[in-house]
Amino acid sequence: MAGQEWLNIAAYSGMFGYGVAMALLGAILPILSARLRLDLADAGNLFLAMNGAMLAATLALGPLLDRFGARPALVVAPLLVAASLALIALAPGGYTGLAVAAMLLGAGGGALNQSANTLVAGLHRDLSRKSAALNLLGVFYGVGALFIPLSIGALLDVLGLGRILGCAIVLILVPAVLGAALRFPPPAGPEDAPSARMSFLATQPLVIILALLLLFQSGNEFILGGFITTRLTRELHASIEQSSYLLAGYWGAIMIMRVILSRILLKVSGHALVTASGLGVAAFAAALILAPSLAVAGAAVIGVGASISAVFPTTLALAGSRYPRNSGTVFGILIAISLVGGMTMPWIAGRLSAAHGAGAGLALVVVGALAISGLQLAVRRQMRGRTLDN
């Protein structure tokens, strides 16, 4: 197998680990709540600790990826996630140990996401191939995100949580092994001070526009992941089983569409695709809000999953093509801002839903999706100039 193919496998396994990290707390929270008697405030603090650590790690890691390449991060990050899973399985320090585990999970998961995306983006100079490769990479995030909840649902009574997490640790460590064994391309980043370079890039109009676009995208993803089942169960009277299957269909649509997009993007403009995706998300989210029946809502859920799938990886590809020598730093800025959207927009949606119903919270997705399409037009105008770093 060629060296680049093995590097792709290392990135795929890293993105799988990121998916596990992102889905883990939500999947095991009911078990931990019973074991440690956690209340909702405790649970919220765990998510805050995880997201805060992920945000800090994302900002710090970007310049290091440009200076030293993806290899160190792909080796160290899985060790952090594995340590987190071990702490959760043992929970030796009660809630304190769990909070430390949440921070390790956030830092390690965020580093896996950023290093895997930076590695794959650096393997392809052509924009169409970069977009296709990053969409395919995103499929493995979905596989990882489904791994823990599906394993718990099928195997908890047979293996118990500790053994399930032990199996996950073995899989999580794959990118560390590959990262230590493979030969990586040399880093292409500049030699100037990382803080100065980050400050310069963070003020560039294109980076600001891309960051705002991903802020709305991440907010939409978190809202949809949390409020689809609320809309289906509370307002359309779906059973827990029906809503769970439709939510699985939403994630399945994202993964399947990203596989398809990895071929389509070799021939279709990334700019056009992101614009169309925003409009599609707005249309299907509106259909979900207005759906008169569960069947119509189910079709809208699948449609919104298929539509939203292209935005994040294709936007990263556009950024990577404009800033190839600083892709790690730029990705860090963009992902950090997207995390801010992922934390704030669901909070706003929750308050809208509490006051006016789940449809009001989902209406924020429509607004965010239309904003994405509008911002993408601005991205296209900004990228008509040079496509390489200054």
Query: How do residues 366-388 score in pLDDT, each as one tens digit?
Result: 999 999 999 999 999 998 755 44
For the ranges 133-142, 193-202, 207-216, 261-270, the maximum mean pLDDT occurs at 207-216
- Asked if the model's pLDDT at residue 325 lies above 80, the reply is yes
**Domain membership of residue 61 as a residue range:** 3-181
Among candidates 175, 127, 145, 144, which has minimal Cα distance to 313?
127
Angstrom distance (rounded) from CA 117 to CA 328: 9
Co-location of 276 and 132 in the same domain: no
What percentage of residues in the chain have a pLDDT greater than 70? 92
Which of 153, 181, 209 is at the close of a domain?
181
- List, for residues 249-287, the tens digit of each pLDDT value: 888 899 999 999 988 888 888 899 999 999 999 999 999
In a domain, 390, yes or no: no
Looking at the 3D structure of the chain, how many domains does it have?
2
Mean pLDDT of the chain: 87
Co-location of 201 and 130 in the same domain: no
Which of 147, 181, 215 is at the close of a domain?
181
Residue 215 is predicted with a pLDDT of: 96
Band (pLDDT 50/70/90 cuts) for residue 390 is very low
Co-location of 92 and 229 in the same domain: no
Among candidates 315, 319, 317, 336, which has minimal Cα distance to 389?
319
Co-location of 241 and 301 in the same domain: yes
- Residues 91-119 as b or e (16 or more Cβ within 10 Å = b): beeeeeebbbbbbbbbbbbbbbbbbbbbb
- Asked if the model's pLDDT at residue 79 lies above 70, the reply is yes
Co-location of 152 and 258 in the same domain: no
Residue 385 is predicted with a pLDDT of: 58
In a domain, 275, yes or no: yes
Co-location of 173 and 214 in the same domain: no
In a domain, 151, yes or no: yes
Longest dimension (CA), the chain: 59
Region 347-374: what's the mean pLDDT?
Answer: 90
- Asked if the model's pLDDT at residue 133 lies above 60, the reply is yes
Band (pLDDT 50/70/90 cuts) for residue 17 is very high
- List, for residues 295-312, the tens digit of each pLDDT value: 999 999 999 999 999 999
In a domain, 317, yes or no: yes
Co-location of 41 and 141 in the same domain: yes
Co-location of 132 and 246 in the same domain: no
Co-location of 30 and 142 in the same domain: yes
In a domain, 388, yes or no: no
In a domain, 189, yes or no: no
Among candidates 15, 384, 352, which has minimal Cα distance to 171?
15
CATH of the domain at 329: 1.20.1250.20
